[in-house]
């Protein structure tokens, strides 16, 4: 059941100003990092978080301006789907975490993207766990149902209801980070052992999503959801060990480029003949040359090695008739181009 009690709740409420950064490819800047500092005084603050489908994380706190409706502003990347979560009484025993769903023009979704600044208006968050409207079956402080709000969305703002929402695998409106997968009363974000198997999350060898946000680390632009993009973060997994000295998970050194992901931004899309040709090897040898089975991986071989092998195949010198057949399909120049590209790929499957 959806909690809708806009006027019976007093104390804290908020106005959300979402400023987009459209234009020439500049992405949003996180306004702050996750803060664990508790709010002092008698008026608790509200933490506003945005989890985005590129894996990035943004957060801010509302400002106590003395009124009952504390304003806040959060800058999000333009055009990327994000889910909002709001926390009242942060860090206190009465903490309430409320994922937000937005309803507009007949669409209800937790995922929103915008290219323009707009005002969400008043968000009627619950303030007290004793409130009869508060429903929290597993006692983890996260409401059972997201709060649905109905702001007027301006042109340039979109609600996206996906069949498969990576941030919310079961589409119940509660993002993965605020689910409690092992039902131990700690939601995944703070639970160091999400599956209760005795191995800390950070040491799980099969965990490709260290911040539990639903975005695989291969694509996640902020692996630890600390608000610092991996290409600026010197400790991608927040384990206190700098990336350059961390043997388990982190990128070796990522101060200059985003090494968590293997994509080329389209704004820098380059003419790489070799890549398209090499992609035609992937059906048999795996994406980017990384085979998933007994057949050869071809990533990371030196160009001269690949060229020599292809010539051997062409001459029938290797006893591999299907490769002999395939090798006849490519010119010397094409073989050199695909070999040069494959040589740029790491021979192991990324950082794991």
Which residue number, 37 or 268, has a Cβ lying nearer to other proteins?
268
Q: Cα separation of 116 and 108, whole Å? A: 20
Q: Cα separation of 87 and 1, whole Å? A: 19
Element spanning 103, H or E: strand 96-104
Q: Look up residue 89 and give its two tokens.
A: 């009484």
**Residue whose structure tokens are 């209801």:** 161
Q: Per CB under 8 A, which of residues 192..221 are in contact with other proteins?
A: 209, 214-216, 218-219, 221
Q: Cα separation of 131 and 65, whole Å? A: 25
Q: Per CB under 8 A, which of residues 294..333 are in contact with other proteins?
A: 294-295, 321-322, 324-326, 328-330
Residue 21: name the closest of 155, 153, 116 by CA: 116
Q: Does 280 bind other proteins (CB under 8 A)?
A: yes
Q: Does 36 bind other proteins (CB under 8 A)?
A: no
Determine which residue in the list 15, 17, 241, 279 makes contact with other proteins, applying CB under 8 A: 279
**CA torsion, points 198, 200, 204, 209, in degrees to nearest 10?**
130
Residue 284: name the closest of 274, 297, 272 by CA: 297
Determine which residue in the list 46, 62, 88, 261 makes contact with other proteins, applying CB under 8 A: 261
Which residue number, 45 or 166, has a Cβ lying nearer to other proteins?
166
Cα 96 versus chain centre, distance: 23
Determine which residue in the list 11, 69, 291, 344 makes contact with other proteins, applying CB under 8 A: 291
Binding part of the chain for other proteins, among 35-43, 172-180, 231-239, 300-308 by CB under 8 A, reads 172-180
Determine which residue in the list 32, 292, 304, 315 makes contact with other proteins, applying CB under 8 A: 292
Determine which residue in the list 11, 19, 54, 131 makes contact with other proteins, applying CB under 8 A: 54
Which residue number, 308 or 334, has a Cβ lying nearer to other proteins?
334
Q: Per CB under 8 A, which of residues 93..112 are in contact with other proteins?
A: 105-107, 109
First to last CA, the chain: 41
Q: Cα separation of 180 and 346, whole Å? A: 36
Which residue number, 111 or 343, has a Cβ lying nearer to other proteins?
111
Binding part of the chain for other proteins, among 64-72, 199-207, 243-251, 267-275 by CB under 8 A, reads 267-275
């Amino acid at each position: 059941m959806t909690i809708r009690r806009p006027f019976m709740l007093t104390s804290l409420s908020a106005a959300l100003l979402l400023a987009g950064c459209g234009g020439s490819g500049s992405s949003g800047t996180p306004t702050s990092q996750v803060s664990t500092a508790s709010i002092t005084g008698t008026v608790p603050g509200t933490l506003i978080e945005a989890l985005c489908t590129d894996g990035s994380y943004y957060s801010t706190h509302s400002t106590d301006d003395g009124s009952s409706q504390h304003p806040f502003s959060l800058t999000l990347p333009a055009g990327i789907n994000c889910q909002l979560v709001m926390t009242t009484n942060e860090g206190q025993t009465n903490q309430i975490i409320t994922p937000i769903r937005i309803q507009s023009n007949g669409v209800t979704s937790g995922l929103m993207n915008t290219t323009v600044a707009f005002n969400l208006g008043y968000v009627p968050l619950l303030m007290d766990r004793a409130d009869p409207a508060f429903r929290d079956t597993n006692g983890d402080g996260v409401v059972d149902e997201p709060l649905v709000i109905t702001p007027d969305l301006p042109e340039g703002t979109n609600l996206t209801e996906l069949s498969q929402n990576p941030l919310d695998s079961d589409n119940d409106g509660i993002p993965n980070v605020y689910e409690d997968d092992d039902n131990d009363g700690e939601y995944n974000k703070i639970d160091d052992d999400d599956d209760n198997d005795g191995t800390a999350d950070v040491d799980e060898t099969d965990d490709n999503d260290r911040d539990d946000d639903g975005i695989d680390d291969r694509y996640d632009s902020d692996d630890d959801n600390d608000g610092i993009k991996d290409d600026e973060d010197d400790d991608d997994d927040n384990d206190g060990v700098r990336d350059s000295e961390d043997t388990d998970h982190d990128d070796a050194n990522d101060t200059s480029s985003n090494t968590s992901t293997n994509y080329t931004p389209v704004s820098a899309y380059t003419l790489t003949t070799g890549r398209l040709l090499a992609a035609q090897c992937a059906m048999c040898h795996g994406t980017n040359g990384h085979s998933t089975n007994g057949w050869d991986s071809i990533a990371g071989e030196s160009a001269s090695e690949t060229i020599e092998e292809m010539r051997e195949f062409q001459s029938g010198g290797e006893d591999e008739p299907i490769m002999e057949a395939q090798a006849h399909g490519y010119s010397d120049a094409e073989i050199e181009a695909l070999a040069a590209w494959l040589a740029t790929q790491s021979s192991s499957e990324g950082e794991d």
